[in-house]
Chains A and B, each alone.
Chain A
Amino acid sequence: MSEKKKARISRREKALIRTKNKLSSPWATAISIIIAVLWTIPTVGLLVTSFRQNRLAISTSGWWTSLLPKNWSDFGLANYKTVLGGTYNLGAYLTNSFVITIPGVLIPISLALLAAYAFAWCDFPGKNILFIAVFSLQVVPVQVAMIPLLTQYVNWGINNTFWVIWLTHTIFGLPLAIFMLHNFMCDIPRELIEAARVDGAGDVQIFLKVVLPLMVPATASFAIFQFLWVWNDLLVALAFTGNTASTAPLTARLSDMVGSRGSAWYLLAPGAFIAMIVPVLVFLFLQRYFVRGMLAGAVKG
């Protein structure tokens, strides 16, 4: 898309760009650089620290001093090895994060696709009111549901298992998922659905063979949302996992480490980057879908 756009830049637009740049710099340049630096340097600092092996140096000198060539020999993977195994055992928590996230994304999306289809293409009494109710629920703070849910889970004896976390993420993700997927689904041309109906297809066939294939990009964009939300979640994790190596995700463990090991930067820095790497990669590769979902969720609402 961007290439096509580039080709279509007319001379008039080029002139416009030139004028605009002339008008706005150098102030604009200065502002943009300041913001960009402020938004990037903190992460770079911690990343550099995560590779510094001299623990004494980490807790006494700024990370920028390690960039001097005479200190380069200090860099290595020792900190990562320390946190991944042994008593810190971040490897186990990393696995938990995956085990929590995959069903935590798949289940709500499938249920939401079904519900969104009903809202978009079926007629039934009270449809609008029900839809507005679902829409409103997405802004209800999850806190109002947590304690009674926990009581339920304890009564059923499934507390501190993955089941609880999957179920909770599904419940909390559903309102937004239904709302967003419904928005996308309404964009499918009515004629396509009608045509399939005329050909004698039932709703299930239409859902599976007409709607689902068209919904792949939209579903992907919501999936990234849900992925980031579940992977990065702390509240549900702290409330329902019991914070042990058998079920807790990375975020809970890290938050715990910050509390108990205040300034052990040689542990926290690599820990933070291990937790970050997966969502950042997903995000960088699928940025376009993510932006699409964001715009559909926000601007259409």
Chain B
Amino acid sequence: MVIAILLFVAVVGLVLFLTNLPKHMPSWGVAATFLFPAIILICFGLIYPAIVTFKNSFYGRDGTQGVGWANYIQIFTEPQFLRVLLNSVLWTILVPLLSTAVGLIYSVVVDRTRFEKLAKTLIFLPMAISMVGASIIWKFVYDQRVGLLSAVYTWVAKLFGHTVRAPQWLMNAPLNTFLLIFVMIWIEAGYAMTVLSTAIKGIPEDLVEAARLDGLNAWQQFIYLTIPMIRPSIVVVITTVAMAGLKSFDIVRTMTAGNYDTSVIANEFYTQSFLNQNTGLGAALAVLMFIIVIPVVVFNVRQLRKSQDVR
């Protein structure tokens, strides 16, 4: 580790030294040397591999034989992969909508209460816990014998006069997919809450008071004042979390490894590329993820342009 850091410090030092050498380096020259290491790494590590993957998606198992669209056709026709696509759609839609809803409601109800700081930290904390850690925490809740969910389930059943054993939660499709999605919501709600809460605090005091004087109750204030005022932030949160939902890998990998009909594109990519050694199919899945993300990129670039115009 020490060698790596020293080597790296030497590289940065060299860049700075070389830039400083000529008396009057033109601006583009400075930019070129400053950008050089980052651009090289990005080209080598992202752009070139992405092109190779795109090419590989039209090749067979080991990447030597061209198969045309076969990998894509397989993904869009075999039931196993259709299930994967459907699950990914569920993840990409449910995670952003529900975590934004929870984050929004929570930030409104705890706003300016006495316990605001503590209350927010509690919701925010899962963001620091790794998805692997979160998966273990929730796998414990979903445990058939000693999990909290099972206990609540048997307890409620008893209230209605039934004595039942809790089901194997994570083996029951399609329920298990929703249980996994909930783990992701549990993680992302803190992010949604923090961004939205900041936006809510940015609403001018006068407006809130005017609304109150107009006789709007809390609910009406929320619908007619809060939501319209923070709409841009809501849009940003939803798109960001949607991307996280689409790329979700750790939770599925750790909790079910994609078994029992819970796999998603990101997990299937790993299974096909690394475990089944099917490079072509894995590449096609990766390209699909990229295609799904493109509209979000376009949208975000537009947002960026807008904010630059303002600046």
A binds B: yes
A residues near B, CB below 8 A?
Answer: 2, 12-13, 16-17, 19-21, 23-24, 28-29, 31-32, 35-36, 38-43, 45-46, 49, 58-64, 99, 102-103, 106-107, 110-112, 114-115, 117-119, 122-125, 127, 130, 132, 134-137, 139-141, 143-149, 152, 162-163, 166-168, 170-172, 174-175, 178, 186, 202-205, 207-208, 228, 231-232, 234-235, 238-239, 251, 254-255, 258-259, 263, 265, 268-269, 271-272, 275-276, 279-280, 282-284, 287, 291, 294-295, 298-301
In the complex, are the beta carbons of A143 and B141 less than 8 A apart?
no
In the complex, are the beta carbons of B31 and A46 less than 8 A apart?
no
B244 to chain A, nearest CB (A): 11
Interface residues of B in 13-33 (CB under 8 A from A): 15-16, 19-20, 25, 27-28, 30-32
Residues of the A chain whose Cβ atoms lie less than 8 Å from the Cβ of B91: none
B116 to chain A, nearest CB (A): 10
CB of B303 closer than 8 Å to a CB of A? yes
CB of B229 closer than 8 Å to a CB of A? no
Chain B interface, number of residues (Cβ within 8 angstroms):
117
In the complex, are the beta carbons of B27 and A32 less than 8 A apart?
no
In the complex, are the beta carbons of A234 and B254 less than 8 A apart?
yes
B residues near A, CB below 8 A?
Answer: 1, 4-5, 8, 12, 15-16, 19-20, 25, 27-28, 30-32, 34-35, 37-39, 41-42, 44-50, 52-54, 56, 102, 105-106, 108-110, 112-113, 117, 119, 121-133, 135-141, 143, 145-148, 151, 186, 189, 191, 194-195, 198-199, 205, 208-209, 212, 217-218, 233, 236-237, 240, 243, 246-247, 249-250, 253-255, 257, 266, 269-270, 273-274, 279, 282-283, 285-287, 289-290, 293, 296-297, 300-301, 303-304, 307, 311
Q: Please judge, given known A-B contacts A32-B110, A58-B146, A62-B146, whether A279 and B119 are in contact too, CB under 8 Å.
A: no
In the complex, are the beta carbons of A255 and B209 less than 8 A apart?
no
Q: Please name the residue on chain B nearest to A12 by beta carbon.
A: B209
Majority secondary structure, A binding face:
helix
Residues of the A chain whose Cβ atoms lie less than 8 Å from the Cβ of B194: 291, 294-295
